[in-house]
Amino acid sequence: MNKSLVTGDTGFIGLYVVKLLLERGSHVNTTVRSLKNTAKCKPLLDLQAYYPGCLSLFEADLMENGSFRPAMEGCEVVYHIASPFLVPQRIKDGLKDCVEPALQSTQSIFQPANEVESVRRVVLTSSVAAMYSDNADVLEEKDQTLTEACWNETSSISYAPYSYSKTVAEQEAWKMQKVQSRWSLVVVNPGIVLGPSLNPPESVSGSHSMFESIYRGDNRMGCADLSWPPVDVRDVAEAHVRAGENTATSGRYIISGDHTVSLLDMANLVRPVHQKPKVLTCWNMPKLSGAVYRHIKRWTNANVGIPFKVDNSRSRKDLGIVHRSAEEAVQSRYETWRKKQKV
């Protein structure tokens, strides 16, 4: 039985990856910061009971050098999904809050990968944020389309620091991979990840707070005309596993739909299944309403009202991913949120 290590396995994407690997007959090593946190570990413990002898739990911390080596021993494939995340409002210092933790997270996995002889492949979860900072950036690309050749060159510690951290973390991963020849690296770059959750309803990712505000009707008087390339979490998980299984895969893979979807589009997609559809917004706010504060004027001008296309052909051709529709991803995300309200 082949063995894999998955980091971030109690997270939105990671839990799906663990489940898929177990369904395919793999032995999976998983990591948590504390085995004493039984509530956090419960989804993994449930899988451990359902697949006896196939799942092992280890304690490890991304901020502690060497803590992942015991979990990595004997593994052929490492799925590095764990990554620090802060909603923009909580970022006070771009370097300390975003960049340094992201680099430490990368080094904590890739350093032992260079030391553990069994490792043959690492699959890294990056993001389309490592490919562009502002929507306007993509309009400067060939055919105004996001591709795997794109790199985020406009973020910095002071401007869009989270996107900058994803960029430097992925670049560090490629740098560390190139100093050796034993293991290969494949990077998965998802868009905004939606879809149903395997986690308990009360543990919903902070990255979904913006969409929860739509479901609640917080912006029923109008929403900003912002858009992202959406993807269903089940497609993201499938892409990870196939990238780990297929030795012919290489490089970066965008995992998302072929165009961006706006907040208003998402409200309209969820309207048919929403229990109180009248709370959903029906229009966009004027662009100027988002630029009244000088410090966000640049961001507003570079993102509001700017959709773009996405080339996801590599994921379809090499990984065989058949992307679920934005409608399915948005509506199933809403169902997860709705269940949370009953807890």
DSSP letters spanning 229-268 = -EEEHHHHHHHHHHHHH-TT--EEEEES-SB-EEHHHHHH
Share of the chain above pLDDT 90, in %: 83
pLDDT at 49: 97
pLDDT 10s digits, 182-225:
999 999 999 999 999 998 766 656 667 788 889 999 989 999 99
Mean pLDDT (the chain) is 93
Would you list the domain boundaries of the chain?
3-341
pLDDT at 291: 47
Q: Which two tokens stand for residue 299?
A: 């961001």
Residue 1 above 80 pLDDT?
no
Go through 170-187 and write b for each residue having 16 or more CB atoms within 10 A of its CB, e for each that does not.
bbbbeebbeeeeebebbb
Q: What is the mean pLDDT of residues 83-103?
A: 84
Between 201 and 265, residue with greater pLDDT: 265
Q: What is the CATH number of domain 3-341?
A: 3.40.50.720
pLDDT at 203: 62
Q: Which two tokens stand for residue 32?
A: 């948590």
pLDDT 10s digits, 267-321:
999 999 999 999 999 999 877 554 444 458 889 999 999 999 999 999 999 999 9
User: pLDDT band for position 84 (50/70/90)?
Assistant: confident
Ranges of beta strands (E only) in the chain are: 3-7, 27-32, 55-59, 77-80, 121-125, 145-146, 184-190, 192-194, 227-228, 230-232, 251-255, 261-262, 309-310
Q: What is the mean pLDDT of residues 25-34?
A: 96
Least confident of 6-15, 47-56, 86-95, 240-249: 86-95
Instruction: Quote the pTM value.
Output: 0.94
Residues pairing with 55 in the sheet: 28
Between 202 and 337, residue with greater pLDDT: 337
